[in-house]
Every structure is written in C-alpha cells, then in structure tokens.
Amino acid sequence: MHRQPRLDLSPPPSDEMRQTTCYMCACRCGINVHLKEGKVAYIEGNRDHPVNKGVLCAKGSAGIMQHLSPARLRKPLKRVGPRGTGQFQEIEWEEALSLAVSWMQPLRETAPEKLAFFTGRDQSQSLTGWWAQSFGTPNYAAHGGFCSVNMAAAGIYTMGGAFWEFGQADWERTKLFMLFGVAEDHDSNPIKMGIGKLKARGGRMIAVNPIRTGYNAVADDWLAITPGTDGLLILALIHELFRLGRIDLDYLMAYTNAPFLVQGAGEEAGLFLRDAKGTPLVLDRRTGEPAPWDAPGVQPDPAADWQGHKTVLRLMAERYLSPEHAPDAVAERCGIPAPRIRAVAAELARVAFEEEITLNQPWTDFRGQRHEVMKGRPVTFHAMRGISAHSNGFQTCRALHVLQILLGSVEVPGGYRFKPPYPKPVEAHPRPHAGVTPGQPLDGPHLGYPLGPEHLLLNEDGSARRIDKAFTWENPLSAHGLMHMLISNAHAGAPYRIDTLFLYMANMAWNSSMNTSEAMRMLTDTDASGAYVIPHIIYADSYSSEMVAFADLVLPDTTYLERHDCISLLDRPIGEPDAMNDAIRWPVVAPDRDVRGFQSVLLDLGARMRLPGMVKEDGTPRYRDYADYMVNHERRPGVGPLAGWRGEGEGSGRGAPNPDQLDRYIRNGGFYSDHLPQNARFFKPWNAAYQDWAVARGLYDKPAPYLFALYSEPLARFQRAARGLGPHQPPDHLRPQLQHAMDPLPVWYPPLGDSLSDPAEYPLHALTQRPAAMYHSWGSQNPWLRQIHGMNPLYVPKKLWEEHGFQDGDWAFLISPQGRIRIPVARMDALNERTVWTWNAIGKRRGAWALDENAPEAEKGFLLNHLIPELLPDPAGRRRPNADPVTGQAAWFDLRVRLEKAPPGAPSEPAHEAQISPVPKAPKTLARHS
Ligand code: SF4
C-alpha cells in the first residue's frame, strides 16, 4: 500500500501566547499575541474579550508590523540643526530628562501657564490630566477638540452620554439602525459585529452620509446627504414625528424635562420656573397649579401654557411643527427628496411603536414605582464625526439625541444603551478650572462642563485664561479644549506667550493641524532676536512622525506591545451595556531599543519636579513606574485607575490597592468585567437597582437619578447673558452669535464656512474620512496596510467627473479660499453630487516615518489640511476660530472648494522639502526568522 507522508496540518503558531489589548486603533479589542523564541510572531483576536469576542480587523493583525516598524524611535534625541530639518543627536535618558526638567521646573515656580501640555490619541488622559493639574498649568487638553467634542458634549448635556465609550445599540434586539456620518474605522469591530447581528435577524439599516463606503456600503438604504445639513434632516424627521403624533409621551413625561415650565417673560425668561427651593415646576393637572416636578403623585400637563410659561414639549411642538422644518422646505438643501424624508420618519415611527419589545423583567424606578415589565422601542442611532465636525455640529448632535429621546428609544430594550460608568449627567461632571498659583497645583480639573457663564475661564479684563481660549464666550462649552488652536495662539501670543510646548502622540506638524504648511512655519518662526517664537518643544512619540523634526527634545515611547497601559473607568473605558469593564496593556515583549513608556516617563518627570502626589514625604518617587501607579494610585479613597480585583481580590470598583491586581488582569486575558444584575440592565438613569449597583462600585458616591434635557437650561443661561442680563456679560460683537448658537432647543444654521466663501466660486464640499484599514497616520507606515492604501486620490462624483472631462490617471487642482493643492483624481459614483473626498492622513512628508523619499505616500498622497484655515476671516481683524461656536470643535468638514483640471504627474503639491530622518531607512526586506 502506498504510504502518504505524515503532514502536520496544524503546526503550533507559537511557543507561547500572551493576552493584551490592541492599540492599532482606539477600539481596544482583546488580542492574543503569539511569541516564537521570545519574539512576536502572530496576533489573533481574543475570543473571550468583551469588545471583539475574537474578531480582529486588518489593522489588528498588522500590529506585528507596527511593532517591528523601521520608523520606531530608538533613543532620546536632542536637536542640533535648525528646527524642522530633522537634525538630531542621540542622548542618554538622564540628559533628556534633566533637560526637560530644566525647562519646565522654572516655569512651575514662576508662571506655570507657560507650559502647554497637550496629548493626541493616547488612552491615559486621567493620568496626563492629573499630572498637568499637579504641575499647575491651565494649558492641558487631549485631542477631543479636533475630533468629536460636539458629539460628546451634546450627548452629555442632553442625556448624560453619547456614542462609543458612552453607549451603543442594543445589538441583540434592535430592529432599525440609523447611522449618521460614521467613517469605517470608528468603533470598528463592535459596529461591524453589531451590523452582522442586526442583519442576521432581518433588521434594517439606514445610512446618512455623503459618501457610500464602509458601513454605509452595507446599509439597506443610503441617504447621500449634503455635508453640513444633517441637522436640517433630523429636525425634519422631528417635524414629521410631531405632525404624525408619533412621540412616546409616557416616556417623555416620566424621564425627561418635557413637562417643565419655561418662563415666558421677564428677567428670567428662558429659564425654568422654579419654587423657592429651586426645584423646577410642572403644571399639575389635578390642581391646575404649578407643583415641583418630583412631588408625590404629581400629574404634569404636557402641553400647559400657564400665565405665559409654557412646557418644554409645547415649545418644541410650536417650533418643530413650523413649516420651515417640513421635509419639503429642507429637501433641496439636504439633497434628499421630501418623500424619502417622510418615508424614513414613518419607518422610524412604525418600528418604534408597532414593534415594541417587552421583557418580562420587573424593575423599580427612582420614584419607588415598581414596573412588572421592561418595554422598549427597537430603533437605534449612531453618529460620529460626519455630523460633529461642522460649525453647526453641536446643535446637530443635540438634535439627534432629542430625536431618539422623542421616540423613547434610549436606555430601553432594543434602543440605545449606556455603558457603565455612563450615564453621567452634566451636573455630575466637574466644572473647568484655570486657577494658577506658582509652585502649586491648579485649583481643580482643567476640563469640564460649564452650567452657565459663571463657569467660563476668563480674566477680569475678559481675556482668556487658557492658551487655546477654551471656555470663553467664543466657545463656552469647549469641554475637550481646542488643541487645533494651540500652535496658532502660542505663535500669535494671543492670549499670551508660552515657553514650552510639550506634546505627546500628536502629529501637529502634519495631519493633526488645520493649515498644515502654516503650522510648520509657526513652529519654526523666530523673533527679532533670532530666537524661536515658541522657545522649547518637547515631543514624545513611538515613531519618527513629521512632528519629530520640529521638536528640540524627543522622548521615545515604546510600541503598544512593550508597555503598561490602563484602559480605565476614570478615562475612556471599554464598558458594555450589561457590564462594567476595564483593561490593561502590559509588556508582552521587552523593548529592544533605548525607549521608555511615556506614562512612566511622565511620572519620573513629575517626581523630579516634586509634583504633589508623585513624591513621598521624603521626596523620593511615589511610583516606580506606570504599572505601580495603575495599582497603587487612588483618585478617591478606594477608587483607582483599575476597578478589578481590588482589596483582597474581591473588590469591584472600590477597595484598597491590591499588589496582585495586574497579575489577576493578565490571568484573565487583560480585562475585567462585572455584570449588572438583570433588574438593573435598562432604564439606568432612573432604575433604583442600577443606581445602587453603581454606588457600590464607586461610579457614583450616592444615587443620582436625573431627567434627560430636551431643553438645555445651561444653554439658556448663555442666551440670557447675550440679552444683557446677569452679572457675566459677553462682548457685544459675540451677542448675536451666542443668541443663535446657544439655543436651548436644537436649532440648525448654515455652517459658518458656507457664509464666508462665495458658493458660486467654491460650489463643492470637501471631506476626509479614515479608512477601515488605517488609523490616522499610524497605518500609512505599516508595510501590510500600505498595500491597501499606498496613496489617496480625490474621489469625484460622476457628474462632476464628466463635466471636467476627467480620465483615469488625471490630476486636478483643488482650491479653497485658503490655498491650492494639486492631486490625483478618481471617479466614484456612490457620492453626493456636490461633494469630493479623500482618505485621511495617507499623504506623508518626505523623510518622515522611515519611508523611501519616493514612497507613493509622498508622491501621490496628500492632505486636505492645507486647504483648511484655523481662523475664519473677520472684518474687525479679530482671531475667530474656524470652529463650532458652542464647543470650539474644529470645523474640518465645513471646507468649500472648487476643482480644476491640472497637468498630470507626481508629486502632489505642495511638495515639502524632505526632512532628515532621525532613524535609519527601512530595509528592503523585513525578515523576522532566518
Ligand atoms: S478594531 Fe482592529 S485595530 Fe481597532 S482595536 Fe480592534 S482589532 Fe485593533
């Protein structure tokens, strides 16, 4: 008999497997990292992990190439040539840290605000914010101001949470999912898995996006909306729901401020009518008289008009039933026919009210009333930067939250669900602080949520207290700061000059700045004496990004597989609707370079400067490194960065530090989960069992039920100030803007960029979005992912393509009032007719990221950022940010352009001079095992 050779069909992929958390994007999936001979050989998804349940995307598996990247920094660097050229000398860590301290320590003792510390897409903001607070500078923020603060702030002010970290669709039960402006890298694996579940159950998905790629490509219905008009569409849907009488009145009366009376006249007009104790009043149907909303047995009249004081619901009906919000009135501007808008509204109402879900699960609300079942409306929404990165984004995001509340589909079975530690209403968040005392910590946390003009960060003379002018009349609710204004303001010395710019993982000399060429100029500009206008720049990153060349001192970070990290409930956790989760990263391999985890470096710098909380009484460092901090730091007694296995190992959320904590996380796959009891899983803001559960775990210190804010009184307080009332008064030129933008009910106004450029001259909208395969600039240096996106054409819709007579391989000029770029074009038909777009951050500067100087990313890649101004023109010459006037979010997507045919041929323009690479060029082949 012929003998077959014995083949090993399933050889073990590794000698050892270690479980940690992915960082190839911000989703924080669980991964199994396989090692062979102690080196990373292969990465797969962790099937037990709550975020991804074993699913791994292209980026996640390509993490091995990120870990082995030739662009990794190797040693601390000190600048020796002119700033921006990339000429450095390698130095030892001791010299690097001493130099950093020599710049920062004198500032702390004299003028702490002269240090500006801003971080990019890191996941350690509870540490970095605490560090900056201890240092005493008011100038700290992360990247939210140029990301999606509109979404986050609108959610917090409306219902105590928005999307992604805050909550998600009830994927097990929802039947209709509507997605607004979400690029496909966002909440990547969880949304893909959710859409899969929805479709497997026969559920439907409606996508609203000018561009049909990614998630939008698998939608059952696609609305190719004109950029900046999402708010108009949403308010038209609300108009239809009111017109059809399809709103969940019971839900609104029980769980929202719909029945509150709003004062109609007098000094307090626009604020709630309150009793002597300050409790908002409703009109009690039993007596026909006002009564506190929470009085026992009160029966609020939803449509009351009492002595000119109307309920919130009545004001909403009056506003949104107006013809200006009818589908026919908005269809042309939205680019969506009125019958389609009506059809979507009818579908939302049909699924919400005719396919109601009932779970046989009793629960008790905060009023003490027992409910025998949990009822839900299986309609869910999700949205992100597409609707928020406009100058009308805050109000648009608020409109979307109000829409889902009107349908009664928040925190109910089948609807949108919060993830612990959310929900957290605006009142439970801190207010912003900027009280500086040399040699002392700041007087409180930097970032927060103002409840009125009294919480703005202004000096007596009305000038801004922060370098980015966050929390000023220009953008009162800038809860994440305005990182996009940092370099521009520091360069202009407006509101003041700084001495040291300390950045972490923020590529602000390239794709993380509006007006990129100008940002580079400002970073290198000198004063009359020849000194740099921004005297010192310290930059920490893992890779040789474009920003490295602009630093005076570079602190090299590790890769995500070589360090400790903390995905904390104090920060941006990975909760599920049914569980409180957090996670860690840990060094699954040791660095082979002279690099250190940035968080440990930060603690070291803090100890060297003797910052409060970072040294013991004898002056020695309190924490050995970040791992030690993760275990032993306590933000409040018994509450620290990690929730799991506290105390003797039994504590969840609360408990003394446990020296075995990290070991327990590692043994559990790198994460911790604590599931909610069945009766606490829905109606969280009003559910007594959930509130008790959350208090036991340290999420709150006492039960804090609250009502959703259809009508936002904090916004009304700013409007009132704009009318000249109250002790805190805005400058006159901002009164009209405040009156309009701070409307306490969602409103739509055209994006500010629209009104500042002639629509006839700049008829097109230009957008970017991140691809599924890459996460900002990190991916376009990764050899596996570069094979998917090595360059980025400008995608042009069919009609425009034909009008210009474009052919495959053509190039075009794209022109905005800010400037002109020359770029390759490609045709795409699934696109709004008035929109062109490209992938974000593929284009690279020559010499950066250890890429070849003729790499396609530099030859045929490009950034739209060159066309986007950070300031809007102002007739009076004031510095007016190109941002949302409520939150200050960068209005990336307000960009208006025109297109012209250009001579073909690389390189794309502007073509910047090559930087000298501080790391050696990449080898031609990257062999791991010989
Ligand atoms: S979605 Fe992909 S890249 Fe992002 S964390 Fe998950 S596996 Fe990693």
Look at the alpha carbons of 11, 14, 15, 20 in this order and tell me if their dihedral is positive or negative: negative
Distance 49 CA to ligand 1 centre (A): 12
Predicted local confidence at residue 928, as pLDDT:
54
Predicted local confidence at residue 930, as pLDDT:
39
pTM: 0.97
Distance 57 CA to ligand 1 centre (A): 6
**Residue 851 neighbours by CB distance under 10 Å:** 23
Distance 491 CA to ligand 1 centre (A): 37
Q: How far apart are CA 171 and CA 191, in angstroms?
A: 9
Kind and range of the H or E element at 695?
helix 688-696
Buried-exposed string 874-884: b where 16+ CB fall within 10 A, e elsewhere: eeeeebbbbbb
HSE of 762, CA atoms in CB hemisphere, 13 A: 20
Q: CA separation (Å) from 281 to 312, 397, 426, 705?
A: 11, 27, 20, 17
Pocket probe for ligand 1: among 25, 164, 788, the residue whose CB has the most ligand atoms within 8 Å is 25
Q: Which atom of ligand 1 is nearest to the CA of 61?
A: 7
Distance 671 CA to ligand 1 centre (A): 15
- 750 Cβ neighbours under 8 A, 6+ residues apart: 228, 392
Distance 58 CA to ligand 1 centre (A): 8
Domain ranges of the chain: 77-150+444-556, 260-301, 711-744, 753-902
Asked if 159 contacts 708 with a C-beta cutoff of 8 angstroms, the reply is: yes
Q: CA separation (Å) from 784 to 401, 773, 774, 780, 848?
A: 39, 10, 11, 9, 18
Q: Which atom of ligand 1 is nearest to the CA of 27?
A: 5
Q: Which atom of ligand 1 is nearest to the CA of 45?
A: 7
Distance 909 CA to ligand 1 centre (A): 32
**Residue 677 neighbours by CB distance under 10 Å:** 11
Predicted local confidence at residue 873, as pLDDT:
86
Q: Label the pairing between strands 579-585 and 565-567.
A: antiparallel
Beta bridge partners, 140, equal: 117
Q: What are the two backbone dihedrals, phi and then psi, of residue 803, each rounded to the nearest 5 degrees?
A: -60, -40
Q: Which atom of ligand 1 is nearest to the CA of 58?
A: 2
Q: How far apart are CA 535 and CA 835, in angstroms?
A: 41
Q: How far apart are CA 468 and CA 888, in angstroms?
A: 10
Nearest Cα neighbor of 542 from 17, 881, 68 is: 68
Q: Give the residue ranges of DSSP H helices in 380-524.
A: 385-388, 393-406, 486-492, 516-524
**Residue 213 neighbours by CB distance under 10 Å:** 18
Share of the chain above pLDDT 70, in %: 99
Spans of the chain, pLDDT less than 50: 929-930
Distance 182 CA to ligand 1 centre (A): 16
pLDDT digits (tens, 9 = 90+) for 675-714: 999 999 999 999 999 999 999 999 999 999 999 999 999 9
Distance 55 CA to ligand 1 centre (A): 9
Kind and range of the H or E element at 900?
strand 896-902
Nearest Cα neighbor of 253 from 869, 559, 708 is: 708
CATH class of the structural domain 753-902: mainly beta
Which DSSP symbol is given to 399? H
Reduce the DSSP state of residue 819 to 3 states and report it: strand
Nearest Cα neighbor of 400 from 574, 636, 151 is: 151
HSE of 556, CA atoms in CB hemisphere, 13 A: 25
Asked if 274 contacts 323 with a C-beta cutoff of 8 angstroms, the reply is: no
Reduce the DSSP state of residue 766 to 3 states and report it: strand
Reduce the DSSP state of residue 627 to 3 states and report it: helix
Pocket probe for ligand 1: among 23, 24, 184, the residue whose CB has the most ligand atoms within 8 Å is 24
Atom 7 of ligand 1, nearest CA residue: 60
Predicted local confidence at residue 10, as pLDDT:
84
Asked if 409 contacts 376 with a C-beta cutoff of 8 angstroms, the reply is: yes
Q: How far apart are CA 252 and CA 249, in angstroms?
A: 5
Residues with CB under 6 Å of ligand 1 are 22, 24-25, 27-29, 52, 56-57, 59-60, 188-189
Tell me yes or no: is domain 77-150+444-556 CATH 2.60.40.1930.
no
Asked if 646 contacts 632 with a C-beta cutoff of 8 angstroms, the reply is: no
